[in-house]
Structure 1
Amino acid sequence: MPNTRNPEKWLFRGRPDDDGAPLVLCFPYAGAGASVFRGWPDSIKAGTVAPLQPPGRENRFSEPPFDTHVEYAADLGRYLAGLGDRETVYFAHCGGVPFALETIVWLVDNGHRPPRKLVASSWGPPHVDLYGGLNKVDLDTHDFVAEVQEVQSRLGNPGVPVELARIGAKALRQEVVVHRPWLFDACKTVPCPVDALAWSEDDVVPPHEAVNERWREVADVDLRTLPGSHWEFVSCPESLELLLAE
């Protein structure tokens, strides 16, 4: 795999127009790419929808993934800084939350504007633990191929061929490895408001974990719960659209 990355591919739907419209930057969950947001419209009340495409995924499959959250944040942060001083809102789901948090910290540390807010979906207090059973499995014995097939089945794509699932499993395992040593620095405060979002029927990161009061130790946070399962976000339901616009 070549050791080159094309930062112009960060925004899956292309570089936004220079109209100054707010951007809704969407961080996919662990191992996933921008296509998980294909059910979102081009524009919602909060602004232009801009799904992020990490390297090593989909149309960036040939690019090496990042080995640390800091590398990810610096590369994305430099790209976002080049878009100018425009309003943004961040939406991050599950394993995308750590990357969103580190990107926000990088932007502020380097003199750039933070997002208006972060909606952190299905992730608990980031300085306390990692969330979701996948972050606790034995990396040597867990069947990541079966994991990918199960997730795709839940998303309405049953019967993913093993050969295709193996590709997704490699990306998923690599990102789980990256997450293992990470916790948000408890000495810091997230430099933008946060909506910690739980889904009422979430069986991956249950509501009592996602809207835990300990979020308040590191963020100016609102604890919110919306109806639906762990995967409800993929269709951008009206309740989520309204939350992003608040």
Structure 2
Amino acid sequence: MVRVAVGRRPGGARSSTPWFLTEPDPDARVRVLCFPYSGCGASMYQRWPTRRGDVDFVPVQFPFRENRTREPHFGTYERLADVLVPGIEPYLDRPYVLFSHCGGVLPAYESALRTAELGLRPPAAFIASSQVVPHRGPYGRFLGLTVPELDEEIRTLLRRMGGRETFSAEIVEIVRDVLVADLDANRRYSKPAPALLPCRVTAVGWDHDVDIPSPLMDAWTECADEVEIALLHGDHYSFLEAPEELVELIVEVAESSAA
């Protein structure tokens, strides 16, 4: 698997909004806003590129984690979208794409709907990786795991993010607190029927994903007028490594949507 070289944006300044760690590149033609996975923050995208051509990759930071630890959890994805979307409105001044994986897909979905409700610029495209459509959820193995099982998943996640082989009980507990709160938000989120997104959708499945089998991604055809289904090689955590196949897909979607 090819890995993309990553690093901090050259000269990147601290963002003027808490929703990003560093200020989005003002010279980029299109932005990819990357929503974090359940239990994680923006730093989960540390192995991703910051820029590819005219495309700026911008990880989104939620409250209750990392540099926003002191802020309370949002509780529901609806409440999160209510504050997130107005908070990033100044950065919706050019074409942008929402990318998210698994638990991050749901707040991204609600945020995309909120842009339309508020009359703001909608995303040019929505890329959902490894998550069932909201009107068929909540769904996922994580929702039924015990605390010891969650702890083991956290250790696996941290290792796949590029961390050490072993982690202290304190670190695991900190991540668990965030993960449990995020999973509760996942359980509360449901749609009685498909809510059409105001943009094209690319649904990404992974051929070795045992958590969200790739055929489940086909149902995203119910959520937009234009939907592309993509199958990539990898498992549930492969996206963390920014596989070239995924990055190229995102860049292609971003560039074509901004044309």
The answer to whether the 8 A contact 1:122-1:205 is kept is: yes
The answer to whether the 8 A contact 1:46-1:89 is kept is: no
The answer to whether structure 1 residue 125 and structure 2 residue 133 are counterparts is yes
The answer to whether structure 1 residue 67 and structure 2 residue 75 are counterparts is yes
Counterpart of 2:26, as a letter, is: D
> Partner residue of 1:3?
none
The answer to whether structure 1 residue 216 and structure 2 residue 210 are counterparts is no
> Partner residue of 1:165?
172
The answer to whether structure 1 residue 95 and structure 2 residue 100 are counterparts is no
The answer to whether structure 1 residue 205 and structure 2 residue 212 are counterparts is yes
**Distance in 2 (alpha carbons) for counterparts of 1:102 and 1:185:** 14
Q: CA RMSD in A?
A: 2.0
> Partner residue of 2:235?
229
1:46–1:196: structure 2 CA closer, same or farther, 3 Å change rule? farther
**Distance in 2 (alpha carbons) for counterparts of 1:172 and 1:103:** 20
Query: What's the offset of the Cα at 1:22?
Result: 1.2
> Counterpart of 1:127 in 2: which secondary structure?
helix
The answer to whether the 8 A contact 2:194-2:222 is kept is: no
Identity %: 33
The answer to whether the 8 A contact 1:7-1:76 is kept is: no
**Distance in 2 (alpha carbons) for counterparts of 1:170 and 1:108:** 32
> Counterpart of 1:180 in 2: which secondary structure?
helix
> Counterpart of 1:118 in 2: which secondary structure?
strand
The answer to whether the 8 A contact 1:46-1:241 is kept is: no
* Structure 2, gaps ≥5 residues long: 1-14, 254-259
Deviation readout 1:111-169 (Å, 9 max, x if unpaired): 1111111110011222112332012346xx66533331232234453211111100000
Query: What's the offset of the Cα at 1:28?
Result: 1.1
**Distance in 2 (alpha carbons) for counterparts of 1:115 and 1:91:** 10
What is the TM-score of this pair, normalised by structure 1?
Answer: 0.88
**Distance in 2 (alpha carbons) for counterparts of 1:222 and 1:50:** 23
* Structure 1, gaps ≥5 residues long: 1-5
> Counterpart of 1:82 in 2: which secondary structure?
helix
Query: What's the offset of the Cα at 1:45?
Result: 4.4
> Partner residue of 2:20?
11
Deviation readout 1:29-56 (Å, 9 max, x if unpaired): 1111111100111102461110011111
The answer to whether structure 1 residue 37 and structure 2 residue 45 are counterparts is yes
Query: What's the offset of the Cα at 1:18?
Result: 3.2
Q: 2:29 aligns with which of 21, 25, 40?
A: 21
**Distance in 2 (alpha carbons) for counterparts of 1:230 and 1:147:** 12
Alignment of 1:233-244 (within 5 A): 233-244=239-250
The answer to whether the 8 A contact 1:98-1:184 is kept is: no
Deviation readout 1:42-80 (Å, 9 max, x if unpaired): 102461110011111111111112011111112110022
**Distance in 1 (alpha carbons) for counterparts of 2:157 and 2:24:** 31
The answer to whether structure 1 residue 145 and structure 2 residue 151 are counterparts is yes
What is the TM-score of this pair, normalised by structure 2?
Answer: 0.84
Aligned length: 236
